[in-house]
């Protein structure tokens, strides 16, 4: 279902994507392909906001914001 939701989000080629836990149910191969595709979107000038509890691949992210006690923290 996550793959379908992602495809629906991408179908209109938006400049900005806001994805809530986009890879929570992905298998490993799909997870890796997601980051490959996200990199291609970035090269095309697209912006992707990812809301997630998983931040293992920090090298794929330009910036990480943390919400703690209702406040947005950088880093």
Domains assigned to the chain: 2-74 (3.40.50.300)
Name the stretches of the chain with pLDDT < 70.
75
Q: What is the pLDDT of residue 44?
A: 94
The pLDDT tens digits for 5-21 are 888 888 999 999 998 88
**Comparing C-alpha atoms, which of 40, 38, 36 is closest to residue 49?**
38
Q: What is the pLDDT of residue 66?
A: 86
Q: What is the pLDDT of residue 48?
A: 93
Task: Please give the angle made by the CA atoms of 44, 50 and 51, to the nearest 5 degrees.
Answer: 170
Q: What is the pLDDT of residue 75?
A: 62
């Amino acid at each position: 279902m996550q793959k379908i939701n992602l495809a629906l989000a991408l179908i209109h080629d938006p400049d900005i994507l806001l994805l809530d836990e986009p890879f929570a149910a992905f298998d490993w191969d799909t997870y890796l392909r997601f980051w490959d595709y996200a990199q291609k979107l970035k090269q095309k000038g697209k912006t992707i906001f990812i809301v997630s509890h998983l931040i293992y691949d920090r090298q794929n992210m330009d910036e990480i914001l943390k919400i703690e006690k209702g406040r947005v923290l950088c880093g």
